Amino acid sequence: MGLGTSTNAPLPAVITNCNAYREGDKLLGMADLQMPDIEFMVSELTGAGITGAVEVPIEGHVNAMTAVVNFKVPTQQQFEMLQQLAQGITFRAALQQYDAGSGRPVQVPFSCLMRGVAKKAGLGTLKPGDQAGGSIDIAVSYMKVFVNQVEMCEIDPMNGVCRIMGTDYLAAVNAAI
């Protein structure tokens, strides 16, 4: 292998750009998305022969997920998202990776599809010459993430789906019940 060349996979570098969509329509004035945390439910295991407590994740079960959509300034789309009904939100991004072998950037598609209902709105601060910084917290009931058009995860607690990297963590549970 020559000096400065590599056969390793491209290195993740930066989010080149992204767009947001609500029910298929592009959202304008969008600043960013704080994607939900995926936190598995746990049960505390204690008892005879255990010298303390151990948290045991409950396979395929997740705690409530919240996404935060941040706006630069108040927009009509922000208020449309406040309607108390489940809405589809999709974020698409180009993830720039660095190919050390060629020394060139590589753009990889990323998408996060969510369904949820607004549970909180921060309208931001009005100040001349500045951005308001408003946000909407979404109670996420469904989420599916793709990187380079490959499904990374699909989480749908209401329909018994928890698939991560192709493994269905609720298959055995759903078959048993």
- Domain for residue 49, yes or no? no
- Domain for residue 71, yes or no? yes
Number of domains into which the chain is organized: 1
- Domain for residue 44, yes or no? no
- Domain for residue 51, yes or no? no
pLDDT in tens, the chain (177 residues): 455 555 578 899 999 999 989 888 877 556 689 999 999 999 999 999 999 999 999 999 999 999 999 988 888 888 888 999 999 999 999 999 999 889 999 999 999 999 999 999 999 999 999 988 889 999 999 999 999 999 999 999 999 999 999 999 999 999 999
Are 69 and 139 within 8 A, CB to CB?
Answer: no
Are 118 and 82 within 8 A, CB to CB?
Answer: yes
CATH code for the domain of 151: 2.30.110
Please return the burial class of 155, using the count of CB atoms within 10 Å of its CB with bins 0-12, 13-18 and 19+: buried
Domain range enclosing 95: 11-32+66-176
The three-state secondary structure class of 36 is coil
Helices (runs of H) and strands (runs of E) counted in the chain? 2, 12
Return the pLDDT at 28: 59
